[in-house]
Amino acid sequence: MSNKKKILIIQNIHQAGIKLLEDNPNFEFELIENIDLKFLKEKISNFDGISIRTAKLPAEIINHCKKLKIISRHGVGYDNIDLKSAKNNNITITITTTANAVAVSEHVMFMLLNIAKGKSMYDTTVKSGNFNERNKLPKTIEIWKKNILIMGFGRIGQCLIKRCLGFDMNVFVYDPYVTKEVIESFGGKKVNDLYESIKSMDAISLHIPLNDKTKNLINYELLKTLKKSCIIINAARGGIINENDLNKALSENLIYGAGLDVFEMEPPSKDSPLLKNDKLFLSPHTAAFTEECMTRMAVETIQNIIDFFDKKLDKSKIVKL
């Protein structure tokens, strides 16, 4: 009987991560793309560890996995995993804490600049032969010296602040769990009253988890208090912003624009008003989809599994249950 640990890779990852298992004699693995709940319930029960991307792992599946010891998340969010059942079954959950900060923070700047500068307006004008119409185009805005609020100051927020300061923005940070001293060491200013400070912001970038406290945190009542020149970016989790309220606020010109990489329902329904709103810049949950980041995430995801069984796992990679 083999003593090798059996690992199930749910949804494909970069080959660099898979190679770690191929080269390690202590493991055997299987890769699957089928994420149907009924299929997963039967499949996972024979594995010691799994890596997972966006597939759902509800209680009915986790409670069926008597051998499972570790769920290694390919990313930093874990709202697709039932945490209570994982805790009850003494299953460790890990995340890729170091892999995606650069890619996501660059994507936020990409969205912010595209919205501020009119997305593809200039490019379309030239390519459509309307170069001489440039004086008739709507004026865009600068982000220089503008106030930006970073909500959540983990690794992504800390990566983003460097890029914002590079554009000479005034950076404010809201994170009750990070001290004033730490925030100031990065060049930011800590704010304690979210609802008061948010009124003076020209841009807001969300980097907080989705939970009972943050669901619909950005709603119509809050949006009404913002500057009309404000831009909101959400590359964290869908549901933090109430999408109907955001669409209404944009349609009523209460704010300048918004960028969404994440949605309450993914993909959004084909009749979602978000898809027709010209003040929205959308991407399909791909903020971390750079070649470099996907390589780092795959390697870290699998390395977390290997380190867990080798009893070398860095505690910073473990989700507190």
**pLDDT tens sequence for the chain (321 residues):** 578 999 999 999 999 999 999 999 999 999 999 999 999 998 998 999 999 998 999 999 999 888 999 999 999 889 899 999 999 999 999 999 989 999 999 999 999 999 999 888 999 999 999 999 999 999 999 999 999 999 999 999 999 999 999 999 999 999 999 999 999 999 999 999 999 999 999 999 999 999 999 999 999 999 999 999 999 999 999 999 999 999 999 999 999 999 999 999 999 999 999 999 999 999 999 999 999 999 999 999 999 999 999 999 999 999 998
What are the phi and psi torsion angles at 75 (to 5°)? 145, -170
* CATH 3.40.50.720 at 5-99+291-317, yes or no: yes
Residue 1's pLDDT is what? 52
CA angle centred on 295, ends 292 and 297, rounded to 5°: 110
Structure tokens given for 54? 């966006």
The one-letter amino acid code at 223 reads L
CATH code reported for the domain at 101-282: 3.40.50.720
What does DSSP assign to residue 24? -
* CA distance linking residue 39 with residue 252, whole number of Å: 46
Q: What are phi and psi of 278, to 5 degrees?
A: -70, -15
Sheet holding 49-52, edge to edge: 27-32, 5-10, 49-52, 70-73, 92-94
Q: Which residues are catalytic?
A: 237, 266, 285
Predicted model pTM: 0.88
Question: Token pair of 6, please?
Answer: 């059996």
Contact at 8 Å (CB) between 175 and 157? Answer: yes
What are the start and end residues of each CATH 3.40.50.720 domain in the chain? 5-99+291-317, 101-282
